[in-house]
Amino acid sequence: MNKQGKGKIEWTDYTWNPIKGECPVGCWYCYARKMYKRFQWDTEINSRLDDSDYIQKLQDKKIPDGSKVFVCSTIELFHPLIEKKWRDDIFSIIETNPKITFQILTKMPQYITREMPDNVWLGISITEKRDFGKRLPGLYKAKARVKFISFEPLLAKNMDAFRYQGWLGGKVNWIVLGRLTGHGKKQDPSLQMIQNMTAYARSENIPIFLKHNLKDIWPGELIQEWPE
């Protein structure tokens, strides 16, 4: 597990990647794919939980109770290429650590077949308008105590209007907003778009978290709220 700090993923305390390999989803903006290419890492998908040495290191690492752990931050956990046994192994560890919150973010909620343990926050990624119809139904159907949406990267040209009013109230417990980084500012969301989304979250009593990469767009202190 990698501890997060300044300049990393600020809505979690640790990232945990028990499954290694290049993510098969193939998003053009994926930072992990760039890392695999840059460092020429092995792209073959495999589970580290089959390695007894890795398991021992995992057991030796003391994660404080109350910590938040982002699971599979570099690969799609529910992709069909991920073996069921690997997921079972991951959820077995999650269930034996009930005092730690595990955050799972997916682009493929339609493949979720299990009920999430109470210490899981289940989220979907939405970057453009067409993602709503593809991913929201799967999130609604999934059984999880906390459900959230990560609008990151929020792509300006593909999210030019705030068209989902009324879709989320009572069904989503948290919203995260962030911009695309590493590609200049041409894809930046407008301040008006962020204000509209924030106002909507307020109207539905949904906690909202503005990532630090929005500080050059958002005036004043960033809103960084958490689900109950």
For 110-144, give the DSSP string.
Answer: GG--SPPPTTEEEEEE--STHHHHHHHHHHHHS--
**φ, ψ at 162 (rounded to 5°):** -95, 95
> Considering only CA atoms, which of 154, 132, 146, 155 is closest in space to residue 210?
154
Question: Do 128 and 102 contact (CB within 8 A), yes or no?
Answer: no
- Taking CA atoms, 165 is separated from 68, 124, 148, 189, in Å, by 29, 17, 16, 18
Mean pLDDT by 10 residues, the chain (228 residues): 78 94 77 76 87 85 92 95 96 95 97 97 91 90 96 72 61 93 79 88 92 93 94
Question: Do 108 and 126 contact (CB within 8 A), yes or no?
Answer: no
Digit-coded pLDDT (tens) for 163-203: 555 667 778 999 999 998 876 777 888 898 899 889 888 98
Question: Do 223 and 208 contact (CB within 8 A), yes or no?
Answer: yes
Mention every residue, 6+ apart, whose C-beta is less than 8 A from residue 137.
109, 110
Digit-coded pLDDT (tens) for 79-101: 999 999 999 999 999 999 999 99
Give pLDDT, residue 166: 63
**φ, ψ at 12 (rounded to 5°):** -140, 165
Question: Do 101 and 65 contact (CB within 8 A), yes or no?
Answer: no
How many angstroms separate the most distant Cα atoms in the chain? 51
Give pLDDT, residue 161: 47
Give pLDDT, residue 6: 66
Residue by residue, DSSP assigns 58-118 as HHHS-PPTT-EEEE-TTS-TTSTTS-HHHHHHHHHHHHT-TTSEEEEEES-GGG--SPPPT
Give pLDDT, residue 23: 85
Q: Output the pTM of the full model.
A: 0.90
